[in-house]
Structure 1
Amino acid sequence: MARMHTRRRGSSGSDKPAADEPPEWSDVDADQIEDRVVELAEQGYEPSQIGMKLRDEGVTGTPIPDVKLATGKKVTEILEENDADSEFPEDLYNLMERAVRLREHVRSNPQDYQNKRALQNTESKVRRLVDYYRGDALEPDFKYSYDVAKQIVDE
């Protein structure tokens, strides 16, 4: 896939191996995995961090290479079922956090044109994601602005 804000082509990466069932050595019960996912979410971990923790640490010492294969549900689906999901999607929140940091940097360094452009690109991505999530994961009348992002990030 091509880059959004440059003329370069995208970098190709490796794909996950095609698998229909979890490996034999990972024989953890799906209910235990779901309980651990909810527990990690309550500790403040984001869905991507939860997946990495389960991959590295596992539930009872046995690593879980893929939560979806082991439980039949994605991490975000498990969190939604147990009302432990965050108010904003993870990718949108991370981009808002970056936009706030860039805005504060540009305010204190007005001659930094490279970061002014980075701020424009980041806010453009945020607006695209807001349009994508509006009505589903966000309120139908949600509008992005720096003040709104600052308030969300500071909570």
Structure 2
Amino acid sequence: MARMHTRRRGSSGSDKPVADEPPEWSDVDPDDIEARVVELAEQGYEPSQIGLKLRDEGVKGVPVPDVKVATGKKVTTILEENDAAPELPEDLRNLMERAVGLRRHVNENQQDMQNKRALQNTESKIRRLVDYYRGDELDEDFTYTYDVAVKLLEE
């Protein structure tokens, strides 16, 4: 598939192996995994970081290669069930952080045309994601502006 803001095509990534059940060496109770996911979320980890922590450290010393295969639920679903889900989706939050940093840089370095273009591209991606999440994860009348992003990221 072609990239969004260039004319090039990206190199294809590797696919996850197809697995219907967790491997034999990782026989962790799904309830323990869910408890660990909620515990890590309360410590301030994002859903992607939680998956990496479970893969590397595991639960009670036993690694969990794939939370969805082991529990039947995604990390974000587990967090939503336990009222520990983040206010903003992780991908939208990361793009907003990048846009805020780029905006500060562009305000200090107004001659930097490359980063002005990068800011335009990043804000375009944010607007597309806001349209995608509007109604489900975001309010119906939510619109992206720099001031709104700064206010949301301070919380």
Q: Aligning the two structures, in what range does the TM-score lie when normalised by the shorter sequence?
A: over 0.9
Give the aligned residue type for 1:18: V
Residue matched to 1:119: 119
C-alpha separation in 2, matches of 1:61 and 1:30 = 15
C-alpha separation in 2, matches of 1:153 and 1:7 = 32
State the percentage of identical aligned residues. Answer: 80
Residue matched to 2:64: 64
C-alpha separation in 1, matches of 2:23 and 2:91 = 29
Superposed CA deviations along residues 73-132 of structure 1, whole A, max 9, x for unmatched, are 000000000000011100001000100000000000001000000000000000000000
C-alpha separation in 2, matches of 1:19 and 1:67 = 12
Deviation at 1:62, TM superposition (A): 0.5
C-alpha separation in 2, matches of 1:153 and 1:144 = 13
Residue matched to 2:146: 146
Q: 1:2 aligned to 2:2?
A: yes
Residue matched to 1:16: 16
- SS of the equivalent of 2:136 reads coil
C-alpha separation in 2, matches of 1:144 and 1:3 = 23
Q: 5+ unaligned residues in a row in structure 1: which ranges?
A: none
Deviation at 1:153, TM superposition (A): 1.2
TM-score (norm 2): 0.99
Correspondence 1:83-122 to 2 at 5 A = 83-122=83-122
CA RMSD after TM alignment? 0.5
Q: 5+ unaligned residues in a row in structure 2: which ranges?
A: none
Aligned length: 155
Residue matched to 1:79: 79
Give the aligned residue type for 1:13: G
Residue matched to 1:134: 134
Residue matched to 1:46: 46
C-alpha separation in 1, matches of 2:29 and 2:57 = 15
TM-score (norm 1): 0.99
Give the aligned residue type for 2:68: K
**Deviation beyond 4 Å, 4+ runs, structure 1:** none
- SS of the equivalent of 1:86 reads coil
C-alpha separation in 2, matches of 1:143 and 1:101 = 19
C-alpha separation in 1, matches of 2:123 and 2:53 = 30
C-alpha separation in 1, matches of 2:119 and 2:45 = 26
C-alpha separation in 2, matches of 1:11 and 1:92 = 24
